[in-house]
Amino acid sequence: MDLSHRLQGRTIVVTGAGSGIGRGTALRLAREGAYVAALDVVPDGLEGLADEVGPTRSGGQVVTGPVDISSEESVKAAIASVTDARGGLDAVVNAAAVHYGDHTHEMSLERWNRLLSINLTGTFLMTRETIPALLESQHGGVIVNFSSTSAYFAHPYMAAYSATKGAIMSFTHAIALEYADRGLRAVSVVPGGIETAITGSTPANLPADVDWDKFAKLMPVLGRGKFGTPDSIAGVVAMLVSDDGAYITGTEIRVDGGTHM
Distance CA 142, CA 65 (A): 21
For residue 161, indicate whether it is catalytic.
Answer: yes
Strand, helix or coil for residue 214: helix
CA atoms within 13 A on the CB side of 55: 1
* Cβ pair 45, 68 in contact under 8 A: no
> Which of these is catalytic: 35, 152, 157, 161?
161
User: CB of 168 within 8 A of CB of 147?
Assistant: yes
Q: Which residues of 39-72 are buried (b: 16+ CB within 10 A; e: fewer)?
A: bbbeeebbeebbeebeebebebebbbbebbbbbe
Beta pairing, strands 91-94 & 11-15: parallel
Query: What is the rounded CA–CA span in Å between residue 252 and residue 249?
Result: 8
Active site residues: 161
